[in-house]
Amino acid sequence: MHNKNLSELMQTIHYEFENIDLLKNALTHSSYANEKCIKKYKDNERLEFLGDAVLELVSSEFLFKTMPDMPEGNMTKLRASLVCEPTLANDAREIGLEEFIYLGKGEEETGGRKRNSIVSDAFEALIGSIFLDGGIDNARDFIIKFALNDIENKRLFYDSKTIL
């Protein structure tokens, strides 16, 4: 396990958790939770579920407000490109999130830290944990800064993929 100091992550994301257990939960992959078999180690799947919903709401609101002339169909496509697994995994890697994920030995040894699904799930779980810890405004600030940044390049990535 890469047990990096969580204060380093909080410094990077500009958010200080009141309840550090929420952050630890967001970073706990099921392989680690299953391996430890201790009640305090819950995996991040429920937080990922919540984070996904918060991300969808905030990204929809952001596109609606910042792109007033964009038709609904185009907003839907752009939002999909911003919240898809590869994009979220890249967003997570930009903050070094993969280094903080608690993985079981097997997952660690087979390269789980490099797997887009694991890294993007942790990113969504992090959003969910920020939402529970600090409310929608803190979650919105995090999403705008770390997921809704560089929209033009993310749109180009999606459009190129669609064309192919």
Which residues, other chains included, contact 158 with Cβ-Cβ below 8 Å and sequence gap of 6+?
Answer: 77, 78, 80, 81, 84, 87
Active site residue 137: no
Residue identified by tokens 């809704």 is: 148
Number of alpha carbons in the 13 Å side-chain half-sphere of residue 112: 21
For the record, the structure tokens of 136 come out as 């929608």
Determine whether 52 is an active site residue: yes
In angstroms, the CA 120 to CA 43 distance is 14
The single residue of 48, 98, 121, 124 carrying the catalytic annotation is 124
Active-site position among 52, 98, 121, 133: 52
Which residue shows structure tokens 């939402």? 131
164 to 36, 154, 161: CA distances (angstroms): 44, 16, 5
Q: Give the active site residues.
A: 52, 124
